[in-house]
Each structure stands twice: as C-alpha cells, then as structure tokens.
Structure 1
Amino acid sequence: MRDAFVQPSGQDDNLGDSALRAGLLRALTHAGARVHVHLLGQTSDYVSGLPHLSNGALYTDRKGWLLSAESVPRPVYVVNAGEISPHADQPYPQPDRAREMERVVRRGGLVIAAGLGLKDLETAATVRFDSVLREAALVSWRDSGSRDAAGFGRVAPDWAFAEGSSTSAWRTEGDRPYTAVTLRFDRPWPDDSWISAVRGFAKRTGTTIATVAQVARDAPRAVQLAEVLNGHYLGAPSTRHDDLDRHVRGVYARSLAVVSDRAHALIMGATEGAYPLGTASDPQKIERILAVAGLGALTGHHDSIAGRADRVDSERTGLEAAVQASRAAIQSLTTRIRGVLDL
C-alpha cells in the first residue's frame, strides 16, 4: 500500500470545495492508497464534509506532514484538486511547493495532480509550469479549456460528479415540486428580465421556487432572491458541511432544475437529478466545467436565460446518461491512479 500525501484545503464556508475534495479522497482510498491529510487552519465545519479515512492519518502541522512523507518509502505527493490561479509570468507551483514535490520524486516517489482547473485561461499562456508538474506521473484537468491552455495532461469531469445519489434512486419528474435557485453573493444582481424568466420557468413547470445557500456568504442573497422571486428560502440546520450537504441535496433531489452561477451547485443538482441551468454575468468557467460532463448546453449569460429555460424539457432527457458517463470517466481516472500507484 502506497502512502499518499494531500492537503485538501478549501474555503471554509463553501460546500463545493469540500465536495470535490471528498471525491478526490475517496478515489485515492479506492485506488489503494493510505491517505495522509494535512488540514492546517480548516474549521470543523469544513472537515465534517470530508470522508472518514479509516486507514489514513490527519495532520494539523505541515512540518509533521512533510516529515512523515520523508519517513515512508516511495511516497505519493497529491496536488490539491480544484481551481488554481497561477500568476502571469510566474512559476507554478510556487518554488517551495515545487521543491517539496522534487524531494518526493528524488526518493523514488511520484506526483499526482488530478482534478485541476484554471480560473483564467488567458493567464495560463504565460505561466511557467514547473517540470515537476508537467512530468508528474498523472495530470488530469477538470475541463478541456484548462488542459488546452496549460498544454499538458488529460481531462476528466470534476470530482464532485462522483458524489450524490445513484441515478436509479432519482425521483421522477412529477415528484419534483421545486425549482432551486442559488447565486453568488459577489456578482452583479440580475436584472428584471432575469427575474421574470425564472418566475416564468417556475410557472410553466408548475414548480415552487426554493432558494438555498451552499456557501454561507450567499445566504443574504438567497433570502433576497426568495423575496423577489415569490419563492421560499430554505435554510440549512447548521453550517457544518455534512449537514449542509444533506440539506441542499435534499432540496435538489426534489427540484426539476437548479438555476445558479455556482459550479458545484449545478454539479450537485445534476447528481440529484435536477437539470443544471447555469446562468452568470461571466459564465465561461461554469460553461467549461459542465461542458466536459456533456451538460453545458443550457449554461450561459444572465441575458439569455429565458431562451435556455424554454429548452430544459428537451435537455432533461439526457441528464441521466450524462451523469452516468461522468461517473464512468471518474472511475476510469481512479483506475488510472491505481495503475500509477502499482508501478
């Protein structure tokens, strides 16, 4: 059994951040690794959203984590999954992280980077990706745009597609009374035409609008949306990510569609059988992430949501196959990880 060292850090109040890292940690375990997790500074709310590792180890001290990596034969350094924002004309990873990875490789270990996504594709053209990442044993990006911009590695859907309900357990379309809505707190408020389009979709489908916040900072916006959309704000019982995960999945499982500019709200909705209707003032990131899963057809700018909402009925028929294909692709990536660990 190989020892894999990973720091699955993320924003403490962002359920999507723990959800995608949960997928990565489960994959490493399924691939046969003993997982050593470094979680310096993360709150108990965030940690509650990560899977329990029965044969792993948890570290709150980075020095102890690194010393443990130096004490085992052929360690595996796992780059944290999720969004990365390397600076233009700068090296990536940063020199101190690159040196950590190089020490692992010199000792006969290897580097895995699975599930990366670039925030800004234009910046990537000038980033100096370190050879220790370029030549890693496995590199996988969560969207084709990131892979093409970086110029190396393969592509697989976001780890969060591996989470959620089996498609066989999904409720039927007639047993989905909600249209779920959640928007980022830090983006422009949508205009009246967007409000009318979302109201119109709910009226046409005979659903009630339910707003949620799977990022704590989005809660005030969710309350405001419920008011202007004549809907209901459904608050979670606590800020613990395990509670929040159960809550929002429960809403999405009863929703015909999820309307959001949060990538992981759209992904988690899809994995519960709610069609992802992506809408944003700048939709390029969510378009890329959903496209690799075959679910990007109805994602776009706020201004064009009315026309896209009219096509939800026809696109919904392909949701189950798209989620199943995404999970198969993630299973294939997990098998690739196992193959690398067996080398």
Structure 2
Amino acid sequence: MRHRVFISITGQENNFGDFFIRRASLGWTESANCRSVFAAHHDDGWVEAAGVRADDVVTRGGALHRLAWLLSSVVSRRRPVLVTDPGEVWLVRSRFFQHLFQLLIAAAIVLRRGHIIIPPHAVAQQRAAGVWPPTLWLHRALAKLADVCLWREAHSLEMIGEGDLSPDIAFSEPLRPGSEVRRLCLVSLRGDRELPSEEWLKGLSAAVTEAGLDIVVFAQVDRDANLAAAVAESLAATYNSGSFWNPDSEADLRALSDQAAVVISDRLHVLALGALSGAVPLEVVADPEAKVRAHFSAIGIHDMSFDSRGRTSEEIARWIAGRLDRRSSVEDAVANAHRALSEWRGLVERLIGR
C-alpha cells in the first residue's frame, strides 16, 4: 500500500523564521507522490514559496478545519504518514485538548500501520509559556508513538524523555560559501525589547569599527521593524527596511548574510541563516533567554550568548571582538549539522517509501 503524507505547515504569517523551517520540513517529504498539506491561513504565494506542489491537496482554515484534516488521515485509503510542525510546541493548559486529539489521531494512524514523524522541535520556554504537566504527558505519549521524534535542544529532550537530539531543521538548508571578504555586521533584535542601552550601542559600535565592518540593521518579522529603525538611528547605521518576513525577499536577506562577518541577534533563525553563509552568530542582549544558546549548543557552537545588562561598553566590545575570528569553526559546526539532518531526512524518506 502506498503512503499518503499529511503534513502541517502552520506558522506566523509574517515571520521568515517560521516560513524557513516549514519549507525545510516540507522538503523532507518531497519524495512522496501523495501529500495532504494543512496550511492554516497562508496565502498562495507563501504556500508556493514553501514548496507545495500543484498536485498536493491543500487545506486551509482554523482549528476546526485542522481537526477535520487530521480526521481525514485516519480514513485515508492509503496508509497515512503524519508529519507535525517543526519549531516550538506549547505545552500549556489551554492546548490540552488540541494535544489530546492529536494523540488519538496518532494512535489510530499507528494502528493502521502508518507512521508519525515529528521534525526537530522544542518545548516553548519563553517566560510567558509555562508547562502544564497533563499536556506534557500527552506530548510525551505522542513522542513515544512516533517513528521519528527529534528535539532541537537538550533541555526539551530531557523534559520529555523520548526521542533524539538533532540540529534545528533550518540547518538542512543548503550551505552557502558567501563572500570571501566580509564587510558587514548584521543586527536584528526582537521588537518587544527596549532600545538597547548606551553602553550596548557604544560597545557594539566600537567592536565593529575596530574590525572594519559596516552595520546593517533589519527586522526579521514585522513587529520588529520599529525597534530596528530606532537601533539603526542610534548607531548611525544603515537600516534595511525590506520586508524580510516575506519569502519573496529571501534572496535579499541571503545576499546580506553572504557579506556578513557577524550577525548579532536574539532571533534564532536570523542567526541560523547567517551561520549557513559562514557568518559568526552572536546573541548580545540584556537578559537573554535560554533558547538561542541552547539551540546553538546542540550543534557545537558554544559561548555565543552574552548578557549585556549592567556591562560597560568596553566589556561588550571586548566580548564581541574576541569571537569575530570563529568563522572556520562555525562553518565546520554547520556542515556537521547539515550532514546529521541529511541522515534523518534519509530515514524519513525510507519510511515514506516503504
């Protein structure tokens, strides 16, 4: 019996990072000759750019439409393969029934000798997230049922206790040699932060000026744009106002990354995109959350996150300057991550092809 792949590519509409990893996840199933894709409310341009084919069956809508789409996997004439969303999973109380329904569907798929694939993901650990134990238990049960369950950082794997550690699926994207001579420092910060301190601004400026780099500030998502413009003004730097949360602008963002010696951000996939082009990824912010450093630690890039709160401009500049020569080690770590993900993709393709 041939398989039918049911794959979810939901995510924030105006977030390039969400688009980036969902395109990669969809790419893992491109060998399937029969796919049903749940695309939430994404428009045709987003869906096409993500790699959805003309012969794919696309379902759009909200929570009820997603439930109906999941149910259709159970009654599919072909043996179903369910591929969940990559990225963060929220194990909060309000999502208990969503996780319960998904677990029941997964159990029915397993009974039909189908497969469950959970691409690289992580438990949401932002300060606003929290974890409700019953919801956690449901996700642990789903992970136990899965043929492939991948965690993109170690703490989530330890919390659930089922599955395997892997790099973030963004690193399955093709590696880029980038420019031999790098002249840029890219800066992109979350829009819910305050404007960085004077010490931060002076320290960053001093480090990159000493290295002979020009600063370009941009926003990965639309809600980051106001802060990005303010940071650029404070640094007297270039503000690239391109809509980088739009997949049509990806070539422009990659061109910037190819010219960057360093990327400074608290956005995981801004840093991942830069690292794919050989730029050194650094997080330099006040009170950084564990997310970024945990994900880069999983691929062997350590000591790349710095808490700038209360630090002098000299301390900030010294910390940044001491890490600008890491290009070779970053390229090696990213290449290893890419190879590891290629092996996991091969396993998924074999499951689909059975």
User: In structure 1, what is the equivalent of residue 7 of structure 2?
Assistant: 6
Q: Deviations over 1:79-125 (max 9, x none)?
A: 11111120269858622222222232232212111111112299558
Equivalent residue in structure 2 for 1:325, among 336, 343, 347: 336
Q: Indicate the residue corresponding to 2:233 in structure 1.
A: 227
1:61-140 to 2 correspondences below 5 Å: 62=65, 63=68, 66-67=71-72, 70-87=75-92, 91=96, 94-120=99-125, 123=130, 126=133, 127-130=136-139, 131-140=141-150
The equivalent of 2:326 in structure 1 is 315
Indicate whether 1:274 and 2:294 are aligned: no
Map of 1:53 onto structure 2: 53
The one of 288, 291, 314 aligned to 1:285? 291
Structure 2 vs 1, CA of residues 205 and 218 (structure 1 numbering), >3 Å: closer, same or farther?
A: same
* Aligned residues of 1:183 and 1:261 also touching (Cα < 8 A): yes
Aligned match of 1:208: 214
Opposite residue 323 of structure 2, the aligned amino acid is: V
How far, CA to CA, are the matches of 1:133 and 1:297 in structure 2? Answer: 30
CA distance in 2 between partners of 1:74 and 1:222 (Å)? 48
Shift of 1:331: 0.3
Give, in whole Å, the separation in 1 of the partners of 2:341 and 2:324.
27
Matches of 1:260 and 1:113, distance apart in 2: 27
Match in the other structure for 2:186:
180
CA distance in structure 1 between the partners assigned to 2:159 and 2:97 by the alignment: 14
Letter aligned with residue 320 of structure 2: A
Aligned match for 1:142, one of 149, 152, 168: 152
Post-superposition CA distance 1:283-327 (Å, at most 9, x none): 310111111122232223234643431222332221211111110
Percent of aligned pairs with the same amino acid: 23
Q: 1:241: Cα distance to partner?
A: 2.5
Q: Deviations over 1:164-191 (max 9, x none)?
A: 5x34x3211x2x2211001000123321
Structure 2: how far apart are the matches of 1:115 and 1:92? 22
For residues 25-61 of structure 1, the C-alpha deviation after alignment (integer angstroms, 9 at most, x for no partner) is 101225x463321112224464354124355332225
TM-score, length-normalised on structure 2?
Answer: 0.87
Do the aligned partners of 2:21 and 2:87 also contact (CA within 8 Å) in 1?
Answer: yes
**Contact map agreement 2:220 2:244 (CA 8 A) in 1:** no
SS at match of 1:94: helix
Distance in 2, matches of 1:48 and 1:177, equals 34
Change (3 A) 1:171 1:239: closer
| Counterpart check, 1:258 vs 2:258 | no
Q: Contact 1:283 / 1:300 at 8 angstroms: preserved in 2?
A: no
> What CA distance in whole angstroms lies between the structure 1 residues aligned with 2:46 and 2:137?
32
Aligned length: 337
Counterpart secondary structure, 2:50: coil
- The two structures have a TM-score, normalised by structure 1, of 0.89
Q: Is the 8 A contact 2:280 2:324 kept in 1?
A: no
CA-atom RMSD, angstroms? 2.5
- Find the counterpart in structure 2 of residue 194 from structure 1: 200
Structure-2 separation of matches of 1:200 and 1:149: 41
SS at match of 1:194: helix
Q: Letter of the aligned partner of 1:245 in structure 2? A: E
- Structure 1 equivalent of residue 305 of structure 2: 299
